[in-house]
Structure 1
Amino acid sequence: MTTTSETIHRNYESVQQQIADACARVGRESSSVTLIAVVKYAQWEWVQALVAMGVTELGESRPQQLIQRSPLLGDEVCWHFIGHLQRNKIRKTLPVAGLIHSIDSLKLLRAVDRVAEELNLTSRVLLQVNVSGEATKGGFAPEELRASWDAVAECRHVEVSGLMTMAPESRDPGEARATFAGLRNLRDELIAAHEGLALPELSMGMSGDLEIAIEEGATMVRIGSRLFEGLEK
C-alpha cells in the first residue's frame, strides 16, 4: 500500500519533471523556476512530508493559518503569503512572510510600508497585476501601475521583487499565454523606463497552466492540488 509520503513524493517529482520539460522547450535552466508548494488545504502531515523531502518554499493564503503554522517549522522554510492581505492582518503577517505575492493596490503597499517601518524590517513583496482585466480579479491595472511607479518607489521599507498575476478562468490556453506574456512585457517595460530597477521575480502559473507560464518567463509557480492528488482530504 502506498504511503502518504510516497504519494506526495511521486506527485512532486511529476511536477518537477513538467517544470524541467517546459524549461527545456524554451532554453531555460530548471533551476530558474521556484516551485511554491501551496498548502492552504493540506493536512499538517502532508506539509511535514513535503518539508522532509527538502521542499522549503511553502505558500499560504490565509493569514491565521500562516501565523499558526510558521513557527512549527525551521528557519530553512520560507513562507509565501499568496492570498488577499487585509490591512488589519498586516502587522502579524509581515514578521512571518518571507515574500508577499499579493500587494494589489498602492494603498495596501503604503500600509505595508508603514507597518514595516514600525516593526523595523523590510518586507519583500510582489505587486499583483490584473493583466486580463477581469472584474473578479484584484490587482493593479497595467496602466495604473505604470502611472503609479514613482509612488511605488517612494516606499522605503518594502522591497518590490517583481510582479504576480493569475490567468483567466478559461479552457483556452491562449488566454493564459496572453496574460502571462502581458505580465512579462509589463515588467520589461518598467525596467526599461526606470534606471536601476530590478524586478527579477514573475509569479505566475498554477497546477493547470504552469508549463505555459514557464514558457512565458515565470520564475515562480504556485502549485497546490497537483502535489496532493490521490490523498483523501
Structure 2
Amino acid sequence: MSNIKKNIEEIEEDIKKHSIYPEKVKFIAVTKYVKPEVMDEILECNVKVFGENKAQVIKEKYENYITRDKKDIEWHFIGNLQKNKVKYIAPFVKLIHSVNKLSLAQEIDKRAEQNNRVIDVLLEINIAGEESKEGYELENLYEDLPEMLKLKNINIIGLMTMAPFVDDEPLVRGVFRRLREIKDELNNKYFEGKLTELSMGMTNDYKIALEEGATLIRVGRKIYE
C-alpha cells in the first residue's frame, strides 16, 4: 500500500472517530504544489475534492483534467482570492472558502452571473484576530452582510476560519467552537438555518475541528508524509 493511500485511510478513520456527524464531513485534499501524477493517486483513493490557493494554478489543473474527460472532481478555492483573479475560476469552481470583504463578494457575484452560475461561498472569519491572517472581524462582517445578502449569484452556505498554528489545544478548540457559535448566531439573525458548512481544521488540528463540528477539513501535508 502506498503512503498516500495509507494516509488517506487514516484521515477517513479520524473523521469517523472524531466527528460529531461523520456523514456530513467532506475531506478536501489540498493539492497546491502537487503534480498531476500525485493527484491521480489521490483520485484512485476515491477522494474527488481538491483544494487550491492560486487562481491560475487551479484553472490549469481543472483544464488538464477536463481534457482527460475527468469531470467529477470538485474544485475548491481555499486561499486569499484577489478580485482580479475571480474571472479565472468563476466558470467551474465549486466552492470559494475565503470571502472576506464585500467587494470580493460583489466581484464573484458579477463573474458568476456572466457564466450563468450561482457560486457557493463561505465567509472567512479571523476568530483569533491574527494580523498575519486574512478574514473578517465579526463587527465588519455584520456591517457588510445586508449588502451581501442582496447578491443573487452567490450562495453563502457557511463559514471558514484558520486557528493559530500553536501547540495549545484549549486555544485552538476555542477558535473552532466560536466559529460554530457564530454560525448559529447568523442562522438565527439572517439565514434561517441555511448556513450548514464549517470549513475548519488542517493537518495539525483537524481532529479538534471535527470534534467541534467541522463539515469541511482542508488537509494537505498529512496526505504526503
TM bucket (normalised to shorter chain) is over 0.9
Following superposition, the deviation at residue 56 of structure 1 comes to 0.8
Identical positions, percent:
35
Please state if 1:151 is matched with 2:151. Answer: no
Of the three residues 74, 81, 100, the one matched with 1:78 is 74
What residue is the counterpart of 1:37 in the other structure? 29
Change (3 A) 1:67 1:105: same
TM-score scaled by structure 1? 0.91
Aligned positions, number: 221
Q: C-alpha separation between the residues in 2 aligned to 1:9 and 1:197?
A: 36
What residue is the counterpart of 1:102 in the other structure? 98
TM-score scaled by structure 2? 0.94
What residue is the counterpart of 2:40 in the other structure? 48
What residue is the counterpart of 2:56 in the other structure? 64
List alignment gaps of at least 5 residues for structure 1. Answer: none
List alignment gaps of at least 5 residues for structure 2. Answer: none
- Structure 1: which 4+ aligned runs deviate by more than 4 Å? none
Deviations 1:69-105 (A, max 9, x none): 1123311110101111111111111112111111111
Q: C-alpha separation between the residues in 1 aligned to 2:204 and 2:177?
A: 17
RMSD (Å), alpha carbons? 1.3
Q: C-alpha separation between the residues in 2 aligned to 1:175 and 1:96?
A: 36
Question: Which amino acid in the other structure matches residue 162 of structure 1?
Answer: G
Q: C-alpha separation between the residues in 2 aligned to 1:108 and 1:172?
A: 33
Question: Which amino acid in the other structure matches residue 160 of structure 1?
Answer: I
Q: C-alpha separation between the residues in 1 aligned to 2:174 and 2:145?
A: 23
Secondary structure of 1:194 counterpart: helix
Deviations 1:120-172 (A, max 9, x none): 21111111111111111111111221232211211111011111000012111
Q: C-alpha separation between the residues in 1 aligned to 2:47 and 2:193?
A: 30
Question: Which amino acid in the other structure matches residue 213 of structure 1?
Answer: A
Following superposition, the deviation at residue 64 of structure 1 comes to 1.3
Of the three residues 6, 9, 22, the one matched with 1:13 is 9
Secondary structure of 2:155 counterpart: strand
